Chain A
């Protein structure tokens, strides 16, 4: 019986496993080696340089500057995106009953747009002369608040942060709504009879019962905060003024394809991989508890 079951499994699993092996695992393995070479990307010849790339990286101010920005995003994005998504999800389910599902569709729009398109779109919004934002501020009589949003080293990172929030919230609204809908309704009735107001029911019931969803969402947004390549590339070319919005992924692409230092760029990639894995692992461990059953 077991033997026959395995025979059936193999043809179904094999294509996926082979593709994963060839296009994911093998490049990763290669990258691990390339990171220890001085490869320039053109020749087949990859001179082994030991830890030289990593030593260089440790002293590379551009890298540390970019990593610092990723760290800021990592601190800010998950909390902001998930809080807003939670509130909107709760509202579409409870507060605004009429048209709640229409809102969910609208919130999801950014998710179906390519990140490049989102970046281009917001470039227009932030444009100092013809941009929607400055225009709106002007017509509201708040002309004093007009800025060159993407040209100001003090603002550019936070402008991109805002766009990342805008682009990310919708997906998690839908995700949290699905999670909230799986919580049995009689728990809320019991809570109402126990005297809980909607706010207490949210903190006492919804949030604890959404823990699995929150955990997954945290990891997703966290990994997203370590990337941000597309938005930065489109909205702040070259990392923005004074590299004020640079992130590691953009620097890595620049080093590889702009400066043809593939060995060094791969070393940056390996560091990024280690950071991502550490982050996921840490989040799983920190938030792990026994599973809940309804």
Chain B
């Protein structure tokens, strides 16, 4: 178990215009479960492979514990990786797959057997030890890949989208199992996914990447409540945050037919920028239905009832949206959802609005 540090680590693929990972700074605590999340091509997998030693580091450094590992080969880093396709050795039994690293390390057969059995017991794989990977289900293969990692008792686990080949139901189940297993073993874990729900539910902290650049790192709550920029705001959360362009007024902004007040600090920041408009963000659950005249009118187009929640999708009345096809989403009373075509009146709860600069995309905060 160990800390992990990315120190301005950069990877520039030959022939590519911009770095795949650009000056990544990240400190991961001992025993922490850190999730790297972002859209495809954001550099999350490359970052993980740089940590694994499968990808070169062009600039900067990577440390595991006190050791600088930047240019060490994978086997000297004492880490285990779970691959997206599991990369199980097809010609070896489950037990041999799990014991391969120990065999290479020159461990005695008895000890290998003991450790493989222990790991198999943890993962409920005991009865499959003699089987070949092809005789296992997807979920079982995934567990063998996990077992291959934990049997080595490494400094860190690296996981590259390990759930993406499972069906939806199993994915949710396995997600919980992996998180629980990591808490139990206390091994530092770096987990890559493109699924923000996985990121939010599994990670102690989540690092959001886009175009090779780290956007924000923080606890899931942090990212949700205080996104640093428009990208993080829109990426984290499901359904996504509503992002609307608003024209500034003297004491706030105009949203539809209603003025939305803004805090003095935010107004000051916008004034310094010389901005005439801003991006207003609010989460679907940050609005409440109010009487006509007290909030902005919202025309409902579609209602989705999920049982515990209902979401209404629709347009702001009297607010020219840049992108006419994107509907706004608001959470409404699950017991009494509005009808399609109905106009309801909404108000953003105080303090739950997010204001971003149109120019930089950065969050503007009151303090």
Does the CB pair A186–B85 fall under 8 Å?
yes
Residues of B within 8 A of A196 (CB): 75, 100, 104
> Is there an interface contact between A189 and B83, defined as CB atoms closer than 8 Å?
yes
Interface residues of A (CB under 8 A from B): 184, 186-187, 189-197, 200, 204-205, 208-209, 211, 290, 292-294
B42 lies within 8 A of chain A by Cβ:
no
Closest CB pairs A-B (n = 4): A194-B101, A195-B75, A186-B87, A190-B87
Instruction: Decide: B105 and A186 in contact? CB cutoff 8 A.
Output: no
Docked-complex contact A193 and B100, CB < 8 angstroms? no
**In the bound complex, do residue B54 and residue A293 qualify as a contact, i.e. CB atoms below 8 Å apart?**
no
Give a binary string over B59-98; 1 marks a CB under 8 Å from any A CB, 0 the rest. 0000000000000011100011101010101110000000
Contacts of B134 on A, CB cut-off 8 Å?
292-293
Residues of B within 8 A of A204 (CB): 89, 100, 104
Rounded to whole Å, the gap between the CB of B103 and the closest CB of chain A is 9
Which residues of A sit under 8 angstroms from B54, Cβ to Cβ? Answer: 189, 192-193
Contact of A209 among B52, B74, B91, B152 (CB under 8 A): B91
Find chain B residues with CB under 8 A from A191 CB.
Answer: 89, 100
Residues of chain A within 8 A (CB-CB) of B152 are 194
A192-B74, A193-B79, A195-B105 are known contacts. Are A292 and B87 too (CB-CB below 8 A)?
no
Give A190's nearest chain B residue, CB to CB: B87
Expressed in whole angstroms, the Cα–Cα distance for A196 and B99 within the complex equals 12
User: Cβ of B90 and Cβ of A292 under 8 Å apart?
Assistant: yes
Q: Which of A186, A193, A290 contacts B74 (CB 8 A)?
A: A193
Taking a contact as CB atoms under 8 Å apart, the answer to whether A194 and B87 are in contact is no
Known: A192-B75, A200-B104. Is A205-B89 also a contact (CB below 8 A)?
yes
In contact, A195 and B83 (Cβ under 8 angstroms): no
Number of chain B residues whose Cβ lies closer than 8 Å to a Cβ of chain A: 23
* Chain B residues whose C-beta falls within 8 Å of the C-beta of A209 in the assembled complex: 90-91
Report whether A186 and B83 are in contact in the complex, using a CB–CB cutoff of 8 Å: yes
B104 touching A193, Cβ below 8 Å = no
- If A186-B83, A189-B83, A193-B75 touch, does A294 touch B90 (CB 8 Å cutoff)? yes
- Residues in chain B near residue A290, CB distance under 8 A: 132
**Contacting residues, chain A, for B74 (C-beta < 8 A):** 189, 192-193
Q: From B149, which residue of chain A is reached at the shortest CB distance?
A: A193
- In this complex, what residue of A is CB-closest to B134? A293
Shortest beta-carbon distance, B71 to chain A, in Å?
15
Give the distance in Å from the alpha carbon of A194 to the alpha carbon of B82 in the complex. Answer: 11
B269: min CB distance to chain A, Å: 47
Whole-angstrom CA separation of A275 from B81 in the bound complex = 51
Task: Give the nearest-CB partner of B104 in chain A.
Answer: A195
On whether the beta carbons of B104 and A194 are closer than 8 Å, the reply is yes
Rounded to whole Å, the gap between the CB of B307 and the closest CB of chain A is 40
CB distance from B156 to the nearest CB of A (A): 11
* Nearest neighbor of B54 in chain A, beta-carbon distance: A189
A293 contacts B104, CB within 8 Å? no
The CA-CA distance from A226 to B227 in the complex, in Å, is 75
Q: Given that A193-B74, A194-B101, A204-B100 are contacting pairs, would A184 and B91 also be in contact in the complex, using a CB cutoff of 8 Å?
A: no
Tell me the nearest residue of chain A to B99, going by C-beta: A194
Closest chain-B Cβ to A95's Cβ sits at a distance in Å of 16
Q: Which residues of A contact B83 (CB under 8 A)?
A: 186, 189-190
Report B29-58 CB contacts with A as 1/0, cut-off 8 Å: 000000000000000000000001110000
CA distance A190 to B87 in the complex (A): 7
Q: Which residue of B is nearest A188, CB measured?
A: B87
- Which residue of chain A is the closest to B75 with respect to CB atoms? A195
Q: Which residues of B contact A197 (CB under 8 A)?
A: 75
Interface contacts beyond A193-B52, A194-B101: sample of 8 additional A-B pairs, CB < 8 Å, sorted by A: A189-B52, A190-B148, A191-B100, A192-B54, A194-B148, A194-B152, A195-B105, A292-B90
Least CB distance, B106 to chain A, in whole angstroms: 10
CB-contact partner of A189 in B79, B87, B101, B104, under 8 A? B87
> How far in angstroms is the closest Cβ of chain B from A192?
5
Q: Which residues of A contact B81 (CB under 8 A)?
A: 189-190, 193
Cα–Cα, bound, A192→B77 (Å): 11
CB distance from A189 to the nearest CB of B (A): 5
- Centre residue among B53, B74, B79, B134 by max chain A CB count within 10 A: B74
Q: How far is the CB of B113 from chain A (nearest CB, A)?
A: 17
Q: Shortest beta-carbon distance, A200 to chain B, in Å?
A: 6
